[in-house]
Structure 1
Amino acid sequence: MIEAIAFSIVGFVLMELSGWAIHKYLMHGPLWNIHKTHHEHSESFFELNDLFSLLFGSIAILLIFLGIGELDYRFWMGIGISAYGMLYFFLHDVLIHRRVKWLDKPRTGFLKGIFKAHQAHHHSREKDGAVSFGLFWVPKKYFKDTEK
C-alpha cells in the first residue's frame, strides 16, 4: 500500500514538473500555434489547446492499462497523473478560467495565490513574455497578501 501511495505521488509530481517544462518550452515554443488558443478570447467552450489535456489523459490511461494486471508502478503512476488531471480541471478550468461556472474566483489563501499567478501568466497574449508556467509550483510572490 505504501508503494501504491508513493508511486501515485511520483506520478502527480512528475506531471507538475513535466507540465511546467512542456508549458514553458514547447507550448510557448514550437507548439505555440496550438497553445495560443488558450491565450486568446473565445466564445467557444473548447479550444485547440484542449488537445494537450487529451494527450496527458491518454498517457495516464495507457499507464493504468499497462499496469492494471499486476497493479504495478505503471498503474499507480497513471492514477497519480489522473489525480493531477482532475485537480487541474477543477483549479484551471473551473476556478481560474470559469469554463464551468460552478464556483466564484478564490478570494483568500493558497487558491488565490494560484489564481494570481495564472492571471500573471495570461497578462501576455504573446508567445514570449509569459511568466509562471506551473499550476501548483508558482513563485512565492503570488502568495503575498492572499489572506486579505
Structure 2
Amino acid sequence: MIEAIGFTILGFLLMELSGWFIHKYLMHGPLWMIHKTHHQPSNSFFELNDLFSLLFGSIAVVLILLGLENLDYRFWIGMGISLYGVLYFVLHDVLVHRRLKWFERPKNSFLLGIFRAHQAHHRTNKKDDAISFGLFIVPKEFFKKEEK
C-alpha cells in the first residue's frame, strides 16, 4: 500500500514538473500555434489547446492499462497523473477560467495564490512575455495578502 501511495505521488509530481517544463519551453515555444488559442478570447467551450489535455490523459490511460493486471508501478503512476488531471480541470478550467461556473473567486490563500499566478500568466497573449508556468509551482509573490 505504501508503494502504491508513493508511486501515485510520484506520478502527480512528475506531471507538475514536466507540465511546467512543457508549458514554458514547448507550449510557449515551438507548440505556440496550438497553445496560443488558450491565450486568445474564444466563444467556444473547446480550444485547440485542449489537445494537450488529451495527450496527457492518454499517457495516464496507457500507464493504467499496462499496470492493471498486476497493479504495478505503471498503474499507480497513471493514477497520479489522473489525479493531477482532475485537480488541473477543477483549478484551471473551473476555478480560474470559469469554463464551468461552479465556484466563485477563491478565498482560500493557497487557491487564491494559484488564481493570481494564472491571471498574471494571461496578462499577455504573446509567446515570450508570460510568467508563472506551473499549476502548483507558483512564485511566492502570488501568495502575499492583498492590501485593502
Instruction: Give TM class, smaller chain.
Output: over 0.9
Tell me the residue number matched to 1:19.
19
Q: What TM-score, normalized to structure 1?
A: 0.98
Q: Which residue is equivalent to 2:100?
A: 100
Aligned twin of 1:5: 5
Paired residue for 1:73?
73
- How many residue pairs match? The answer is 148
5+ long unaligned stretches in structure 1: none
The aligned counterpart of 1:138 is: 138
One-letter amino acid of the structure 2 residue matched with residue 115 of structure 1: F
CA contact (8 A) 1:113 1:146 kept: no
Q: How big is each residue's C-alpha offset from its partner over 1:44-85, in whole Å with a ceiling of 9 and x where there is no partner?
A: 000000000000000000000000011000000000000000
Match in the other structure for 1:46: 46
Contact 1:108 1:146 in 2 (8 A): no
Q: Which amino acid aligns with 1:99?
A: R
Distance in 2 (alpha carbons) for counterparts of 1:105 and 1:119: 12
Q: TM-score, normalised by structure 2?
A: 0.98
Structure 1 Cα separation of the partners of residues 38 and 110 of structure 2: 23
Q: Secondary structure at the match of 1:103?
A: coil
Task: Report the Cα offset of residue 108 of structure 1.
Answer: 3.7
Q: 1:129 maps to what in 2?
A: 129
Name the counterpart of 2:90.
90
- Post-superposition, which runs of at least 4 consecutive aligned residues in structure 1 deviate over 6 A? none
* Partner-residue secondary structure (3-state), 2:48: coil
Q: Within 2, Cα distance between the matches of 1:146 and 1:45?
A: 31
Match of 2:32 in 1: 32
User: AA paired with 1:95?
Assistant: L
Aligned CA-pair RMSD: 1.2
Where 2:66 maps in the other structure, the secondary structure is helix
Matches within 5 A, 1:108-123: 108-123=108-123
**1:106 CA displacement:** 1.0
Partner of 2:59: 59
The amino acid of 2:46's aligned partner reads F
Percent identity of the aligned residues? 72
Tell me the distance in 2 between the aligned counterparts of 1:8 and 1:108. Answer: 25
